[in-house]
């Protein structure tokens, strides 16, 4: 069996400062965060749903509870580059840890699990990854119930679980998808406190059987006017900016004609840092610096199958 180091990047216990800061910085994704919190809490600790049912529907045998019990602990995060999906996938465990008052252990699958193409290798590696999760998950429960939660993040998931309907797909890749589906099903059947998050730019490329198993699919679009305003207001805190300048920045960073709007990372990792670098070390950031850069900086191109 492959070692944990061969399969995963170093495990991170959440909450931890870097991921907490990253989670807090995703200020434009409040609606996604709220829905994700509910979904994650109920999948990680199903007893909370039964407590809710006993309180609000006393004496009733709710058939809907079984529907929740049958769901796979799988989320799909889909969206363009820079939309915040990977950042949220690796940081929402901080919020989950607070909600459950339990440690959350973040595992990130290495793309090396695809193997070198040898027959049976990819299937074995994926099987080993889920076996490691089962081994760790058994320690996440005791007589008192859940004592910790595991989150497995698979970035660039379309490289691992591409649709088996693709005609050019290699037999080994098809077998790997089968193995991944079996791994997800094994987690659902065991009712273990583990969540699997798949991040992808190409949601249409994921295998349909995998999409059917997902408890929830979160679509990450480029920020709306209100979201860009919220992100810019937060990012510019401490820098004096006129209200009309903020209005213009919201407009300039939005879609125009054939040009797409800015992504979240365009705003926080390109526009604001560029404004600071332009004036450092000689003076403060001024409104005209921000407006000029917003006019000049092109947003990240929309991801396509050819990108």
| pLDDT tens digits in sequence order for the chain, 307 residues long | 667 888 899 999 999 999 999 999 998 899 999 999 999 999 998 889 989 999 999 987 888 888 888 899 999 999 988 999 999 999 999 999 999 999 999 999 987 666 555 546 778 888 999 998 888 876 666 666 678 999 999 999 988 888 887 656 677 778 889 999 999 999 987 878 899 999 999 999 999 999 999 999 999 999 999 999 999 999 999 999 999 999 999 999 999 999 999 999 999 999 999 999 999 999 999 999 999 999 999 999 987 655 4
Q: In what order do the strands lie in the sheet with 74-79?
A: 12-14, 104-108, 149-154, 194-200, 74-79, 216-220
Cβ–Cβ under 8 Å, residues 287 and 242: yes
pLDDT in the model for residue 120: 62
Please tell me the distance from the alpha carbon of residue 122 to that of residue 119, in angstroms, as a whole number.
Answer: 8
pLDDT in the model for residue 305: 55
Question: What percent of the chain stands above pLDDT 70?
Answer: 91
- C-alpha angle 18-74-192 in degrees, rounded to nearest 5: 90
pLDDT in the model for residue 307: 46
- Strands (E) across the chain are located at 12-14, 74-79, 104-108, 141-142, 145-146, 149-154, 194-200, 216-220
pLDDT in the model for residue 67: 84
Which of 89, 85, 128, 90 lies closest to 12, judged by CA?
Answer: 90
CA distances 6 to 89, 160, 198, 199, 298, Å, are 21, 16, 19, 21, 39
Structural domain boundaries of the chain?
4-220, 225-296
For residue 205, the tally of other CB atoms under 10 A from its CB is 15
Rounded to two decimals, the pTM is 0.89
pLDDT in the model for residue 168: 64
* CATH code at 4-220: 3.40.50.300
Q: What is the pLDDT of residues 89-144, one digit of tens each?
A: 999 999 999 999 999 999 999 876 665 555 467 788 889 999 988 888 766 666 66
CA distances 5 to 2, 9, 10, 11, 180, Å, are 8, 7, 7, 9, 19
Cβ–Cβ under 8 Å, residues 196 and 73: yes
User: Strand, coil or helix: what is 195?
Assistant: strand
CA distances 180 to 27, 157, 175, 275, 282, Å, are 33, 11, 9, 45, 55
């Amino acid at each position: 069996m492959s070692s944990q180091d061969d399969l995963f990047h170093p495990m991170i216990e959440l909450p931890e400062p870097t991921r907490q800061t990253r989670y807090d910085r995703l200020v434009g994704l409040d609606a996604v965060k709220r829905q994700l919190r509910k979904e994650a809490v109920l999948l990680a600790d199903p007893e909370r749903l039964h407590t809710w049912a006993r309180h609000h529907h006393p004496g009733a045998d709710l058939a809907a509870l079984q529907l929740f019990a049958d769901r796979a602990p799988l989320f799909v995060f889909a969206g363009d580059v820079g939309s915040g999906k990977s950042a949220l996938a690796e940081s929402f465990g901080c919020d989950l840890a607070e909600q459950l008052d339990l440690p959350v252990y973040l595992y990130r699958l290495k793309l090396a699990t695809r193997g070198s193409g040898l027959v049976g290798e990819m299937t074995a590696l994926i099987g080993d990854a889920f076996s490691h999760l089962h081994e760790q998950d058994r320690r996440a429960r005791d007589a008192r119930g859940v004592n910790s939660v595991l989150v497995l993040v698979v970035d660039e998931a379309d490289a691992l679980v591409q649709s088996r309907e693709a005609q050019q797909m290699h037999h080994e890749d098809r077998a790997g998808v089968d193995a991944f589906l079996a791994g997800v099903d094994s987690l659902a059947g065991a009712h273990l406190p583990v969540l699997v998050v798949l991040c992808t730019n190409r949601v249409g490329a994921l295998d349909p059987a995998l999409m059917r198993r997902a408890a929830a699919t979160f679509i990450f679009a480029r920020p709306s006017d209100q979201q860009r305003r919220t992100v810019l207001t937060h990012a510019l805190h401490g820098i004096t900016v006129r209200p009309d300048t903020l209005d213009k920045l919201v407009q300039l960073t939005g879609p125009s004609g054939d040009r797409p709007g800015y992504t979240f990372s365009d705003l926080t990792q390109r526009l604001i840092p560029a404004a600071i670098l332009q004036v450092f070390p000689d003076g403060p950031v001024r409104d005209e610096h921000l407006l000029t850069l917003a006019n000049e900086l092109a947003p990240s191109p929309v991801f396509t199958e050819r990108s």
